[in-house]
Structure 1
Amino acid sequence: MKLYIKNMVCIRCKMVVKEELSKLGLHFISVELGEAEVLENISAEQHDQIRTALLKSGLELMDDKKSVLIQKIKNVIIELVHYSEEPLAINFSEFLSQKLNYDYTYLANLFSEVQGTTIEQFLIAHKIERVKELLVYDELNLTEIAYRMHYSSVAHLSAQFKKVTGLTPSHFKQLKYKRRSMLDDL
């Protein structure tokens, strides 16, 4: 049985889900961002126990199909931006459409309607958040960051960074007190 989980955006979240399922005596087949597959059929009582246990960690079971699809879109973006360094061989809209087996126009309209922002704006917000992280780590220069984040140029990255944050990447790097946003707050 598949469980769909909201706010599951990192490796630690996967560990929490695995731990909570194990505590309830459930055997998971897989635990990925946004979903877990368990071997057993889950009773209503177990479902409530899982819901309660996950809520304590800021995670939430989802039942409605639209919410599940929105979370899948978010998870694809998070996975792509934060955990993958491979450039896409096709454009993002085609990639998302293929990955989720839905027409991109449907996905884009649903996402905008429910989230109040576009898929593109959500993607850009995550890319900029990742750029902030890389700037703070101070291991890569701006050219290397632009390449890693698949920007066409440093100028494009800088322009988008300034549009989103109001600061140039160089100025941001100087502001040590500027805090990064949590991924699930974006």
Structure 2
Amino acid sequence: MKLYIKHMVSLRCKLFVQKELEKLGLTCFTVNLGMVEIEEEISDEMLEIFNNNLKKSGLEILYSKKRILVEKIKTVIVEMIHHSNEVPKMNDSDYISQKLGYDYTYLSHTFSEAKGMTIQQYIILHRIEKVKEMLMYNELTLTEIAYKLHYSSVAHLSYQFKKVTDLTPTYYKEMKEVRENNIEEL
């Protein structure tokens, strides 16, 4: 039995879901971002208990096909930006469409209707969060970050970063260094 779970986007979430299923005496066949496959059939009562336990941690079982599709879109984006080390060899819309097996126009409409933002806006928000993370680690140059996150140029990355955060990437990085220096002075 496959269950699709909202907001399940990290290893910690996967481990939590697996632990909750084990508490109920259920065996996981697979646990992926946004989805768990259980070997046994699960009763409605047990499903409700499981869902209530998930809700306590900000997760929940999805029942609607459209909501499941939206979560799948989000999962593909999270995997693409946060968990993949290779640059996709195609544009984002083709990549998402290919991964999910749906026409991008349909995916885009469904996502926008459910989330109140476009897929591209969601991708940009995640890319900027990843840029922030990479700037904090201070291991890559802005040029390397731009390439790694599939930006056409550093200028494009900087423009989007400023638009989302109201800060330039350089200023954001300097703020981090100031905070570190202040902590070291204590």
User: After TM superposition, is the score higher than 0.5?
Assistant: yes
Contact 1:85 1:149 in 2 (8 A): no
Counterpart Cα distance in 2 of 1:114 and 1:87: 28
Pairwise CA distance, 1:12: 0.4
Moved over 6 A (4+): none
Partner residue in 2 for 1:53? 53
Q: What corresponds to 2:136 in structure 1? A: 136
Aligned-residue offset at 1:9? 1.1
- State percent identity of aligned pairs: 56
| Partner of residue 170, structure 1 | 170
Rg bigger for which structure? 2
Contact 1:143 1:154 (8 Å CA) reproduced = yes
Q: Deviations over 1:61-85 (max 9, x none)?
A: 1111111100000000001000002
List alignment gaps of at least 5 residues for structure 1: 178-186
Measure the CA separation in 1 of the matches of 2:132 and 2:48: 38
After TM superposition, the structure 1 stretch with the greater mean CA deviation from structure 2, 134-143 or 15-24, is 134-143
In the alignment, which residue of structure 1 is the partner of 2:82? 82
Q: Give 3-state SS (helix, strand or coil) of 1:123's partner.
A: helix
Q: Write the distance in 2 (CA, Å) between the matches of 1:8 and 1:133.
A: 20
The amino acid of 1:26's aligned partner reads: L
Which one is further off, 116-125 or 152-161? 152-161
Please say if 1:158 is aligned against 2:124: no
Q: How far apart, CA to CA, are the structure 2 residues paired with 1:89 and 1:120?
A: 17
Deviation at 1:176, TM superposition (A): 3.3
Size of the aligned set, in residue pairs, is: 177
Gaps of 5+ in 2: 178-186
Cα deviation 1:31-86 (Å, max 9, x = unaligned): 00101000001101110111011112111111111111000000000010000021
